[in-house]
Amino acid sequence: MSGDYNYKRTMENEQDAVNEMAIAKTLAAKWHCQMEKNAKFSTFDYVAMREKIIVAFIEMRCRSHKINVYPDVYINLKKLLEAHLIESATDTKCFFVVQFADCLAYCRLNKKLQITKSSPKWNTRIAKAGYKDTEEVALIPISQFQKIHCAVPRSLSQANQR
C-alpha cells in the first residue's frame, strides 16, 4: 500500500484516513492487489493495482449504522458519472466500498440509478461546519451491495463478472 496519508482531505478527518487504510488493507488481501491512495482532489479515494496496471478505482465510506438500516446509500453524482466514463472507455472497474457497523460491502458503480438532492442533515460534519449547500446524489440500493466477509471475490476479475 502506498500514498500520502499526512495531508488533510476536504471534509476528512484523521479517523477517516485510519478507517480507509484499514479497508484498503482488507481489499488488498482479499482481491490480491496493491492499494494506492489517490491525490487529495482525485475523484476516487484509491486505485487497486496489479504490477503497474490500474485494475480498479475505489471510493470508500464508513457508516456507523448496520447495512440494512436504510434502503440505500448515496454517492455524489459526479463520482458516479466519472465511474461510468472510466468503465465505458477502459477495461478498468469502479467500486464503492462501504464499511457498515456490521460488515464491509461493495458494489460496482456501473448501473443507472435514481438521483436526488442531498440534505445537509445527512452529514453532521457538513451541518456542523455551517454549510447549507446541497448536491445531486445517486441512490444505490442496498441490494446491489455484496458483503465482503460473506462473498469474497478471489480477484477483481471475478468481481468484475458480477
DSSP character at residue 130: T
Residue 122 pLDDT: 65
The residues with which 117 forms a beta bridge, in sequence order, are: 136
- Calpha distance 49→38 (Å, rounded): 12
pTM of the model: 0.80
pLDDT digits 0-9 by tens, 86-139? 999 999 999 999 999 999 999 999 999 999 998 776 665 555 556 667 889 999
Average pLDDT over residues 147-159: 53
For the chain, the structural domain boundaries read 14-69+78-110+144-160
pLDDT digits 0-9 by tens, 25-62? 999 999 999 999 999 889 999 999 999 999 999 999 99
Domain 14-69+78-110+144-160 has CATH 3.90.45.10: no
SS3 (DSSP) at 96: strand
pLDDT digits 0-9 by tens, 73-86? 999 999 999 999 99
Residue 149 pLDDT: 72
- Calpha distance 108→126 (Å, rounded): 26
Residue 14 pLDDT: 83
Average pLDDT over residues 133-157: 76
Residue 16 pLDDT: 82
Residue 124 pLDDT: 52
Given a cut of 60, whether residue 161 has pLDDT beyond it is no
